[in-house]
Amino acid sequence: MTETSPIRTRIAPSPTGIAHVGTAWMSMFDLALARQTGGQFVVRIEDTDRTRFVEGAEEKIYEAFKWLGIDYDEGGEKGGPYGPYKQSERLNIYREYIDQLLASGHAYHCFCTSERLTQMREDQRKAGELPRYDRLCRNLSEAEVNEKLNAGTPYVVRQKMPDEGTVSWEDAIRGHVEFDVRNVDDGVLLKSDGFPTYHFAVVVDDHLMKISHVLRGEEWISSTPKHLLLYQAFGWQPPVFAHMPLIRNADKSKLSKRKNDVSILSYREKGYLPEALLNFIALLGWSHPSGEEFFSFEEFLKVMALDRIQKTGPIFDTKKLDWMNGMYIRKLPVEELIQRLQPYLPSDFPQDRMQQLLPLVLERLVTLKDIEELTSFFYRPIEVDAQLLSRKSTPEVVTQQLGEVINAVSPLEDWTHQRLEGVLRQLQEQHDYKKSQFFMMIRIAVTGREFTPPLFETLAVLGKQLTLERLAAAKDLLSTPKTV
């Protein structure tokens, strides 16, 4: 295959729960390879592990792709010429190829019970040996096998690995990789429930679906010899393998839901923009050829190249994602941002005041969902902490200051942030109050918070009546005798 030949790639997620960000990450590179060569990107659902199957998980995978804008050519509702694209619907196909391997001597029936296998592994561990199948059933005669089959003895089908030799391949990311087959176990290809294992189904499916390039995580490197020997047993041309680095948590451990949020749709619920999330995950282990940090998904699909993927595991830095998402939010045209905010607005949000409120909080928006937390004090009752209010002074001084502020702003008819700033700064300078204490005191009195949009703009948007009511309430809070 030449570099200009159409490339067929696939992503094969398992419906075992959430739609994982690692699935989206891998899919982006798969899609780029396919688009750059006029090929196809396939989505195949690997649902043969029935013990981990979660109802509705497959739908979540496609929903996540749709939200992110990761399009595919075959699979799902689109179907395609090489379906079915769900492994549980391909059992007859796998049975046919299992029979071929049994007939050619590249696989064998194994009748060992789970109890025996458990004891075998325990004995091996105690002896300091690597736990692996001891090949007890590998040399059963045809008569012995048929006798057990006729008796209905449960079995699995195992791959018959060579006794010696090496298996190697040229990895598109890691270069030459070689394994000694003596270190590779006779793994199970078909389970006792009639479902294939990943190792078998992935080879059959990739071949029948004409997948030319397989991108997957580096944890599958040690399994690749098994897969290559299956390709060899069938006389098939293997695809190009490219083993991506593992995405890691900040502590360098493998990215997992125990330490990080790995659900694509969870990021949607939190108010992240899909274009920001795509940009962020594109930079995990890959860099733009021009060194740019901000670029569209469409541009990524055009400029992605496997030789720019690093071998070491990238860190999923949530702080960088937050920063990037905030930058994307502020790049949106105002009307589009307002539309994007709609699903995250609480029912009591004053839509008629959006044009007033949005400019005040825009610079502090990290996610779209932050809009409620950043603006709620404008339209909901607040609670003021008396200790916080007088933390940098005394209740007596703060009570006096609040009275002075009320007297200074009450006469104002021009209730603008410029006029309020002039009056309050003059009051602060006149009494030589410490700026940080005086203005923080006002901020806490009218918002209940230490961190808000700019103070004078906040007062202007709150309006004269509500500002005066809150200032008076804060003053009363400090002057009311405490009961024991």
Residue among 406, 358, 399, 405 nearest 378 (CA):
358
Return the beta strands (E) in 44-143 as ranges.
107-110
- Backbone φ, ψ for residue 356 (5° rounding): -80, -45
HEC secondary structure over 53-65: CCCCHHHHHHHHH
Active-site residue (options: 66, 78, 257, 331): 257
Give the three-state DSSP class for 131. coil
Q: What is the SS3 assignment for 248?
A: strand
Question: Is residue 30 helix, strand or coil?
Answer: helix
Spatial CB neighbours of 176, under 8 Å, sequence gap ≥ 6: 168, 169, 170
Query: H or E segment at 41?
Result: strand 40-43
Q: What is the DSSP letter of 76?
A: G
* CB contact burial 42-59 (16+ within 10 A = b; e otherwise): bbbbbbbeeeeeeeebbe
Nearest to 441 by CA among 399, 469, 379: 399
User: Token pair of 437, please?
Assistant: 């204490």
Which two structure tokens, joined as six digits, stand for 329? 């939010």
Three-class DSSP category at 190: strand
| CB-based contacts of 278, cutoff 8 Å, min separation 6 | 24, 28, 68, 69, 297, 300
Q: Write out the H or E segment, with its range, that includes residue 375.
A: helix 370-379
Instruction: List residues bridging with 9 in a β-sheet.
Output: 41
- Distance from C-alpha of 272 to C-alpha of 326, rounded to nearest angstrom: 9
Q: Residue 29 and residue 126: Cα distance in Å, rounded?
A: 44
Angstrom distance (rounded) from CA 193 to CA 204: 18
Q: Record the tokens describing residue 113, joined without a space.
A: 């019970």
3 state DSSP class of 107: strand
257 is catalytic: yes
Q: Which positions are catalytic?
A: 257
